[in-house]
């Protein structure tokens, strides 16, 4: 359909131009709100990094990403230290096999490789009976992992 200039009148805006201006204004508004959202997200991320700079803090961004399996470059000794202040450190190891723990934490020690922490072997430690259960220590840290049928079921903090 062709619209003549005379039918619209001199100086009048065509309907197509009005729709185009509306579309452009909606696009500009959408771009503005996306930009504001990105700036706010970047600000929150920078504030998070600034508030929790130590990588042994369980609220540190590196630790949070490592806990959820998204940071493979985490210093594992710092991760072990961060677990001490974590609200739920058992969730990190629960259900993992010894091989999976070795993959996640680098290495684990047997009970006989860490003789200085023998007070952790008391029956009923941390709510779990240890009789007949396999145990291991995460890296050189104070965490005792208790296995049942080859899977980690509990975690205890041992102080020597």
Domain-wise residue ranges, the chain = 15-51, 89-157
**Buried (b) or exposed (e) across 55-64, using 16+ Cβ within 10 A?**
bbbbebbbbb
Q: What is the pTM of this model?
A: 0.71
Distance CA 64, CA 97 (A): 22
- Which of 69 and 13 is assigned the larger pLDDT? 69
Going from the C-alpha of 29 to that of each of 32, 76, 107, 121, 134, the distances in angstroms are 5, 45, 53, 64, 61
87's CB contacts (< 8 A; 6+ apart) are 58
Average pLDDT on 34-50 reads 96
Distance CA 49, CA 59 (A): 9
The proportion of the chain whose per-residue pLDDT surpasses 70, expressed as a percent, equals: 79
Residue 1 has pLDDT above 60, yes or no: no
């Amino acid at each position: 359909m062709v619209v003549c200039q005379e039918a619209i009148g001199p100086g009048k805006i065509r309907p197509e131009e009005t729709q185009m201006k509306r579309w452009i204004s909606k696009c500009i508004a959408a771009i503005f709100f996306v930009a504001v959202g990105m700036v706010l997200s970047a600000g929150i991320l920078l504030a998070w990094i600034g508030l929790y700079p130590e990588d042994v803090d369980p609220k540190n961004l590196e630790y949070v990403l490592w806990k959820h399996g998204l940071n493979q470059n985490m210093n594992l000794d710092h991760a072990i230290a961060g677990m001490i202040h974590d609200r739920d450190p058992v969730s990190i190891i629960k259900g993992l096999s010894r091989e999976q723990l070795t993959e996640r934490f680098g290495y684990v020690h047997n009970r006989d490789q860490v003789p200085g922490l023998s007070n952790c072997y008391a029956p009923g430690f941390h709510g779990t009976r240890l009789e007949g259960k396999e145990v291991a220590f995460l890296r050189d840290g104070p965490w005792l992992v208790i296995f049942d049928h080859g899977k980690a079921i509990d975690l205890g903090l041992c102080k020597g």
